[in-house]
Chain A
Amino acid sequence: MSQSSPPAIGIDLGTTFSALARIDDRGRPITVVNAEGDLLTPSVVLFDGDDIVVGKEALKAVATEADRVAECSKRDVGHRVYHKLIEGKQYPPEVVEALILNKLRVDAGKQIGPVSKAVVTVPAYFDEVRRKATEDAGYMAGLEVLDIINEPTAAAVAFGFQQGYLDDEGSSAAPRNVLVYDLGGGTFDVTVMQIRGAEFNALATDGDVRLGGYDWDQRLVDLAAERFIAAGGDDPREDPVSAGKLWRECEDAKRTLSARQKATVACHHRGASRRIEIARNEFEETTQDLLDRTRFTTVQALKAAGLHWNDLDRVLLVGGSTRMPMVREMLRRLSGMEPDDSVSADEAVAHGAALRASLILARQNGLTPALKIRNVNSHSLGVVGLDPLTRRRRNGILIPRNTRLPVTGKRIFKTHKTGQRSILVEIVEGESPSADDCTPIGRCSIRNLPSGLPARHPVEVLFQYASNGRLKVRVELPETNRRVETEFVRETGLSKESLDAWRKSICGLPPGKRN
């Protein structure tokens, strides 16, 4: 509030929890608590009549008012609509995300003054469409999205900052290979990065979209419910109220089990009340297979980066679920080193994003950026073409996966027939050579081609993939000097008009500047 320049804000928009961090006047990132006093805000939205409630209270309603609650909307980002109806209405997932971002923005604004410019993070595996949708969510929430960066990169930046790599002395140091193991509430990601001073290069990334702390909770609920039944009670999972309470108790117990050897869960159902004691080793046994899945992915990612365990300098723990001792123990055995948790696992991503925001703001104010971030794309990008032999629709890849960004990919296609007056360019994302197995992300067309073009006239398609994961497409016809730089029409996503309309209803702001 006393600052004249807008604060640098970083937002970790997670599947189950979100966090907002800012840079304080000493240049250090700190997490800003929400209106409930918590560092983390559950990414859950309750549509409560005219009221929209985001966070802890919405989470509580999940068990009892499921038809009015949207949770895990991040998993649906990129789709046209959220996977279920909410009070009979269809919402685009980015609108739900925007509501979460708006809550973070408003809560932080109460404490640190108006918040407008922010960096938002996305998982490394997020494709172009989902990045765009995330950016749109920020716009609808009244934020100017300075950049979209990958969560593991953000975590590595926060770590690098803490280790002093971003300072002048630190930046000249030898390259360090870092593995970022990110086990969040709903997703799991592993990324191998090379930090060379202030340069952050992603080498390989892999993950599991449907694996997270949530699955561990489910196992604990099952364990507790079975004990409750064994002690002569009915199944508490049958009743949504009892089940909801038990779920919260178990989630709490999971955290306690990270600190203590045993925890107790109070379970009430149909008149019976019991305190159920669960020991840490019991919990570890019942979730062993989940942990093995993360181990498998971790090993895969390391292989993809062409590294061995002894090439790694650090293993960084990100995501609240890495507080579980079993995760540390597993990584310790795999890597032979103590995993690094010097940056708070819940906050590292938001901190890194805030650092990124402060650097962008500094650059906008005419200072040279000290931080370089190099990403790779997690999915191949291509254009649909017809195979001249088989007459099948094929995916002609322009930018293969794990290419370092920013990049410009170029490929020459040929016109189909003589006198063709227009060309349709369909952009797809995916590794498969068959276009139908890939995700269509958009299309653009070039009309009014000069008449009398022969068949098999070359058409040059250029993809400009920026480091924030946003795509621009250019189509050129050599010899005709026709050049079309096009904002392609997306398969999904909201139009400018509907974005502005949502923005007005979500945060009451007029249409604003967009990237």
Chain B
Amino acid sequence: MARQYPVGIDLGTTFSTAAWVNESGQTEIIRNSEGELLTPSVVLFEDRELVVGKEARTATTVHPELVAEWVKRDMGLPYYSRPIHGRRLPPEVIQACILRKLKEDIVFELGGVGRVVITVPAYFDEPRRKRTADAGEMAGLKVLDIVNEPTAAALSFGETLGCLAADGEPKEEMTLLVYDLGGGTFDATLLRLAPGKIETVATDGDVMLGGHDWDLRLVDHVAQRFKKLHKRDPREDPVIINRALAAAVEAKHALSARTRTIMHIEVAGQTVEVPVTRRQFEEMTADLLERTAYTTRQLLASAKLQWKDVSRVLLVGGSTRMPMVGRMLRELSGREPDHSVNPDEAVARGAALFAAYLLDKESGGRPKSGLTITNVNSHGLGVEGIDPETMRKKNVVLIPRNTPLPAKFTERFVTRSENQRSIAVQILEGESSAPDECTAIGRTVVRDLPEGLPKNWPVEIAFEYAENGRLTVTADVPGTHRGAVLEIERSVGFADDDLARWQKPIDEAAGFDAFESMVQEVMEQSADGRNAEMTPEEIESMQAEFGGPGAGPARPGGWTPFVAGPNPEKPGPEREPPPQTEDESLVAGGSHRIRSVARQRLPRWVGLIGHVIAAMLGLTLGYLILCQLRPDTFPFPFSW
């Protein structure tokens, strides 16, 4: 059997890449079976074959209904945004198909595949990370860990600089900003590099912003032009959309090198020529760029750093080739952005280095390289509690975002009612204080509390977040010998029946027909089975299952600030209404809500104004109808 080399996989929105660490400790990109370094993250579901990569991409403009693209953006949703052959598929299953192709290429190059590290955007939340790991397992890969893309990019940068080698001369400490604009996601991360040490300082990002959005602006541009000429919106036809998208991607690439280009789109036998200049393109996408600039500024502010503290700005992701990105960062930072890593390959190379690091650490304690990597959590982690003042549900953050890992935080809560017999602990991920805007990632219940416990009995909740992203939640009720422990483990160990079942259709070298029937089978089986994490229909029940079957009927206790609550002058006991019984309603559907930053930023007053306008319109319309029906009683207000 061949030696199992450390392998890193950059599972990207538009392109995926795999890299390994060779015998001499250097990273190399693994060529795919088409002889290329990047594999398009596109799956073509043909009747007799599942095709991944370049070959699948040629079908997007001919058979869009058979092709799945940009699946990464739908990670965390129950289904991929478009039906394939009329069937709805979970995104992680499609991602698994891409990973299977990468796995085949890795096996071909290296003679086998050991354990792999897969990268995700720093801003991916826990459920998305877990599903990415699941996709790896479904593809038959042993997932060592899920690592953040900017961390991986920084590792690759370290390799280029030579500051990762143990024998390398000590390089100066530096603060690095990694600006990663990929095909579908955007991340900005601040890292501190010291000899043999990489530390994440802070991270921020947008999972719904990437080069694809720039393409869509060009498609809109074409559509407007087309509408003017042909009085028809070409966006109604998926074939034309894909053709326009292909032309847009080409034009975008062209405009990185040229100042103007012409997009050619064939519609109904006529070729529409749409000229576009770089300036026009930059104008129509200025707001997208500004979003990344805003996030970058926010990131610096949250790390309490200034531009002069940043020693280098590292560009990662193919979209950073657009001249506007370099210019914007130059203006922001006052320095020339760094091009010394290949933006397409840096992440995969770094992931391979990280895999080597983890394997070394596992086998012999200290890694050979003498390197330490510190990550931060990208989202706050908290518990749902009730604010004793307002009686509203509230997300109490225990581990704030950008906390270096590992971290342990304890918070004291109190029970809500007299003689409370059980306490449900709902774990949330997110910064917002409203639990509805956070992602529920797990739940545990402390049961069988002794009778006659007075109200406001303390409950201690401890969060322990390990480096590998494993969260251990301990609930302790002092003086009762009762408690609960919940481990939310993201990246490993989900080799349950479901994953094994999914593995079969993905591994099978068959077409969509066989795939579909197997998918159908798996979905049905899973719906019957108890461990239902993998089937999207059952995600809600998965949340309930975390605490074990038959969760106890109790609400979480109202919280009293103990460490750093917002209400320190009210520590005394308070009487609260008795708990309601239907606590499942609190957690329903929490995990499959898309949480786009863009949407969050849409202020509430926009919605409010909308309601007001709608109401006024309704009233006016009603009055006008009455004018028509009863012209005597209701005089028409205007004269024609």
Chain A positions near chain B (C-beta within 8 angstroms): 1-2, 25-26, 33, 35-37, 46, 48-49, 51, 53, 55-58, 60, 64, 110-112, 239, 241-242, 249, 252, 255-256, 258-260, 263-266, 268-275, 323
Partner of A275, one of B62, B161, B243, B270: B62
Considering only residues 428-468 of chain B, those with a C-beta below 8 Å from chain A are none
| B55–A53 CB distance below 8 A | no
Measured between beta carbons, the chain B residues less than 8 angstroms from A1 are: 340
| B318–A274 CB distance below 8 A | no
| B258–A255 CB distance below 8 A | no
| A265–B33 CB distance below 8 A | no
| 21 A-B pairs in the complex with CB atoms less than 8 angstroms apart | A26-B24, A36-B253, A37-B342, A37-B344, A37-B345, A48-B258, A48-B260, A51-B258, A55-B257, A60-B250, A111-B340, A241-B271, A255-B34, A256-B55, A259-B34, A269-B266, A271-B269, A273-B62, A273-B239, A275-B63, A323-B35
Known contacts A64-B262, A264-B59, A266-B58, then 8 further A-B pairs from the complex at CB < 8 Å, ordered by chain A residue: A25-B162, A36-B256, A37-B342, A48-B258, A270-B266, A270-B269, A271-B268, A275-B62
| A275–B59 CB distance below 8 A | yes
| B59–A35 CB distance below 8 A | no
Q: A46 to B260, alpha carbons, bound, how many Å?
A: 12
Chain B's closest residue to A49 (CB) is B259
B412 contacts chain A at the CB level, 8 A cutoff: no
| B250–A268 CB distance below 8 A | no
Considering only residues 40-64 of chain B, those with a C-beta below 8 Å from chain A are 54-55, 58-59, 61-63
Considering only residues 312-362 of chain B, those with a C-beta below 8 Å from chain A are 318, 321, 339-345
| A57–B321 CB distance below 8 A | no
| A271–B340 CB distance below 8 A | no
Measured between beta carbons, the chain A residues less than 8 angstroms from B254 are: 57, 60
Q: A1 to B269, alpha carbons, bound, how many Å?
A: 53
Partner of B340, one of A35, A55, A112, A258: A112
- The majority secondary structure among interface residues of chain B is loop
| A266–B259 CB distance below 8 A | no
Chain A's closest residue to B339 (CB) is A110
Q: A446 to B321, alpha carbons, bound, how many Å?
A: 57
Question: Chain B, 230-262, contact with A by CB distance < 8 Å: what is the 0/1 string?
Answer: 000000000100010000001001101111101
Measured between beta carbons, the chain B residues less than 8 angstroms from A49 are: 259
B264 contacts chain A at the CB level, 8 A cutoff: yes
Given contacts A37-B343, A264-B55, contact A255 B271 (CB under 8 A): no
Considering only residues 261-279 of chain B, those with a C-beta below 8 Å from chain A are 262, 264, 266, 268-271
| A258–B35 CB distance below 8 A | yes
Measured between beta carbons, the chain A residues less than 8 angstroms from B239 are: 273
Chain B's closest residue to A275 (CB) is B62
Chain B's closest residue to A273 (CB) is B62
Measured between beta carbons, the chain A residues less than 8 angstroms from B339 are: 35, 110-111
| B321–A264 CB distance below 8 A | no
| B321–A33 CB distance below 8 A | no
Partner of A260, one of B33, B59, B162, B259: B33
Query: By CB atoms of chain A within 10 A, which of B250, B266, B270, B342 has the most?
Result: B266
Q: A239 to B54, alpha carbons, bound, how many Å?
A: 25
Q: A270 to B61, alpha carbons, bound, how many Å?
A: 14
Query: By CB atoms of chain A within 10 A, which of B62, B162, B243, B250 has the most?
Result: B62
B104 to chain A, nearest CB (A): 12
B126 to chain A, nearest CB (A): 32
Chain A's closest residue to B38 (CB) is A37
Partner of B321, one of A2, A35, A58, A272: A35
Chain B positions near chain A (C-beta within 8 angstroms): 24, 33-36, 54-55, 58-59, 61-63, 161-162, 239, 243, 250, 253-254, 256-260, 262, 264, 266, 268-271, 318, 321, 339-345
| A265–B342 CB distance below 8 A | no
| A46–B258 CB distance below 8 A | yes
Q: A260 to B266, alpha carbons, bound, how many Å?
A: 30
Measured between beta carbons, the chain A residues less than 8 angstroms from B258 are: 46, 48, 51, 53, 57
Q: A62 to B370, alpha carbons, bound, how many Å?
A: 52
Measured between beta carbons, the chain A residues less than 8 angstroms from B344 are: 37
Given contacts A57-B258, A110-B339, contact A252 B54 (CB under 8 A): yes
Per CB-CB distance, the 8 closest pairs between chain A and chain B, nearest first, are A271-B269, A57-B257, A110-B339, A266-B58, A37-B344, A259-B33, A241-B264, A53-B257
Measured between beta carbons, the chain A residues less than 8 angstroms from B33 are: 259-260
Q: A272 to B340, alpha carbons, bound, how many Å?
A: 45
Measured between beta carbons, the chain B residues less than 8 angstroms from A55 are: 257
A135 to chain B, nearest CB (A): 27
A63 to chain B, nearest CB (A): 10
Chain B's closest residue to A46 (CB) is B258
Measured between beta carbons, the chain A residues less than 8 angstroms from B61 are: 266, 268, 273
Q: A307 to B54, alpha carbons, bound, how many Å?
A: 43
Q: A414 to B61, alpha carbons, bound, how many Å?
A: 74
| A263–B321 CB distance below 8 A | no
A383 to chain B, nearest CB (A): 48
| B34–A2 CB distance below 8 A | no
| A256–B342 CB distance below 8 A | no
B303 to chain A, nearest CB (A): 26
Given contacts A258-B35, A273-B62, A323-B35, contact A36 B321 (CB under 8 A): yes
Q: A114 to B105, alpha carbons, bound, how many Å?
A: 36
B68 to chain A, nearest CB (A): 17
A421 to chain B, nearest CB (A): 58
Q: A256 to B344, alpha carbons, bound, how many Å?
A: 21
Measured between beta carbons, the chain A residues less than 8 angstroms from B259 are: 48-49, 51
Measured between beta carbons, the chain A residues less than 8 angstroms from B257 are: 36, 53, 55-58
| A37–B318 CB distance below 8 A | yes
Q: A46 to B259, alpha carbons, bound, how many Å?
A: 12
| A2–B162 CB distance below 8 A | yes
Q: A325 to B36, alpha carbons, bound, how many Å?
A: 16
B341 to chain A, nearest CB (A): 8
| A249–B35 CB distance below 8 A | no
Q: A241 to B253, alpha carbons, bound, how many Å?
A: 17
Measured between beta carbons, the chain B residues less than 8 angstroms from A33 are: 342
A381 to chain B, nearest CB (A): 42
Partner of B54, one of A110, A256, A323: A256
| A256–B34 CB distance below 8 A | yes
Q: A249 to B62, alpha carbons, bound, how many Å?
A: 14
Measured between beta carbons, the chain A residues less than 8 angstroms from B271 are: 239, 241
Measured between beta carbons, the chain B residues less than 8 angstroms from A242 are: 266
| A265–B162 CB distance below 8 A | no
Q: A265 to B57, alpha carbons, bound, how many Å?
A: 11
Measured between beta carbons, the chain A residues less than 8 angstroms from B342 are: 33, 37, 111
Q: A355 to B605, alpha carbons, bound, how many Å?
A: 66
Q: A249 to B262, alpha carbons, bound, how many Å?
A: 19
Measured between beta carbons, the chain B residues less than 8 angstroms from A2 are: 161-162
